[in-house]
Amino acid sequence: MAANPAKPIIEVLKQIVSKPYTMEYPENRESLTDNYRGVEKLDMKTCISCSACARICPNSTITMVDVDTDKGAKVMPEINIERCLFCGLCEEVCPPKCLVLTKSYDFERYDRREFVKRPEELD
């Protein structure tokens, strides 16, 4: 059977009048599922510097770094979000539950160095 020569034109016209497939980000956003895992948040006040998060991380995303606090120098997690798999293991093993994955997915950056978040930036 011969191909209909008008078919491509009909397809183009259909696309012109159809609703766009993309959303206007950031004005409009997809709703997230309950188990969505996004950028980490750290409560520096309750972190006990145990390093369990850094040890469990499967992609070497967490580095323990020195931080000055009211109670003196401590080590706390610095996270390279670019390397994060959002597996949630760091949240799972954290004894005081001070490191959690949030619903935030806004972490686009122009400079790759900005993916590395010091504890103060995660707090």
Write out the residues near ligand SF4 by the rule CB under 6 A.
42, 47-53, 56-59, 61-62, 77, 79, 84-90, 93-96, 98-99
Smallest gap from Cβ 31 to ligand SF4, in A, equals 22
Residues 6+ apart with CB under 8 A from 28: none
Q: Which is nearer to ligand SF4, 9 or 48 (CB)?
A: 48
Q: Which is nearer to ligand SF4, 15 or 46 (CB)?
A: 46
Q: If phi over 0 gives left and psi between -120 and 50 gives alpha, with beta otherwise, what is residue 97?
A: left
Smallest gap from Cβ 61 to ligand SF4, in A, equals 4
Q: Which is nearer to ligand SF4, 32 or 85 (CB)?
A: 85
Long-range contact pairs involving 85-88 (C-beta distance under 8 Å, separation at least 24): 85/58, 85/59, 85/61, 86/37, 86/38, 87/37, 87/58, 88/37
Residues 6+ apart with CB under 8 A from 120: 44, 67
**Gap between the terminal Cα atoms of the chain:** 66
Q: Which is nearer to ligand SF4, 23 or 85 (CB)?
A: 85
Smallest gap from Cβ 35 to ligand SF4, in A, equals 13
Smallest gap from Cβ 49 to ligand SF4, in A, equals 5
